A and B are shown apart, each in its own frame.
Chain A
Amino acid sequence: MIPDIVLFIILALVAVASAVGMLFSKNAIYSALNLILNFSSVAVLYLILGAPFIALAQVTVYAGAIMVLFLFVIMLLGAERLRRSETLPYQQPVSIILAAILAVVAIYALLFRPLGIEAASVANPDFSSPAAMAEMLFNEYLLPFEVTSILLLVAMIGAIVLTRKRQRRVQR
């Protein structure tokens, strides 16, 4: 049996590498594909973490629907890398510094300040089965569920409105 930790390290590396690749790819299509890879590795991580439903939802929604949408738009708008210009000279260094600070600070806090989180006593494999999820979702979180459906409706409408061609231009 592969120890969990080895599995974790492999998946982590894949995730980080694909993220880097997404950022620094020359082609936007390549970025998208890197992202899909990232999502997939994260889905596997979800599986390890005992969230099967979420893992599959991740693959279906994120990697399936959202990334496809992205690919459509990329192909619509052109995927070439934009040329560099020096409109904001200080943007890059400052951003790198800040991101580095964030990472360092967080990891430092994580490693050297024990969180003091106790694991739950019993590991119930069934605790996140779809049945349990549904039970929670449709009983306690019913209202957010319904509101989310409205949200999706609004998003649909918004997307349609935003991309409508301006047809009626009143000639004065």
Chain B
Amino acid sequence: MVPVEYYLGLSIVLFSLVALGVLILRNAIIIFMSVELMLNSANLTFVAFANQYQLISGQIFVFFVMAVAAAEVAVGLALIVAIFQTKQSIDVDQINLLKG
């Protein structure tokens, strides 16, 4: 059996990587994809623990996270499209009207 710590470690590595991506990248869509990957790494943690404790609640939670992630993608991409219609660009650095 693979110790659960390995799964956790993988989850953390994935999370850090995409966090870095969210912070560095300027393409809105890729940032969004990184966010999805973040959620996915969290899902991995849940499933790992569900397996460890033989509790199915973890998997139920993953189920709901997936549903929410799907909804979120739909709305988020709609937002990006709407912004693209206004700004004709998907560079997040262009969205700086709240500059103080």
- Total interface residues on B, CB under 8 Å, equals 69
Measured between alpha carbons, how far is A154 from B10 in the docked complex, in Å?
Answer: 34
Measured between alpha carbons, how far is A50 from B77 in the docked complex, in Å?
Answer: 33
State whether A69 touches B77 (Cβ < 8 A): yes
Q: Which among B7, B17, B62, B78 is the interface contact of A20 at CB below 8 angstroms?
A: B17
Asked whether A103 and B10 contact (CB < 8 A) given A119-B52, A141-B60, the answer is no
Binary contact track B63-86/A, C-beta < 8 Å → 1, others 0: 110111111111101111110110
* Chain A residue with the shortest CB-CB distance to B26: A82
Asked whether A152 and B70 contact (CB < 8 A) given A23-B34, A69-B77, A133-B56, the answer is yes
Which DSSP category, helix, strand, loop or mixed, fits chain A's interface?
A: helix
Chain A: interface residue count, which band? 35 or more
State whether A163 touches B52 (Cβ < 8 A): no
Nearest first, the 10 closest Cβ-Cβ pairs linking A and B are A155-B71, A95-B23, A120-B54, A159-B78, A99-B20, A162-B78, A103-B16, A49-B51, A106-B12, A23-B21
- Seen from chain B, the residues whose Cβ lies within 8 Å of a Cβ on chain A are 1-2, 4-10, 12-21, 23-27, 29-30, 32-34, 36-37, 40, 43-44, 47-48, 50-54, 56-57, 59-60, 62-64, 66-75, 77-82, 84-85, 90-91, 93
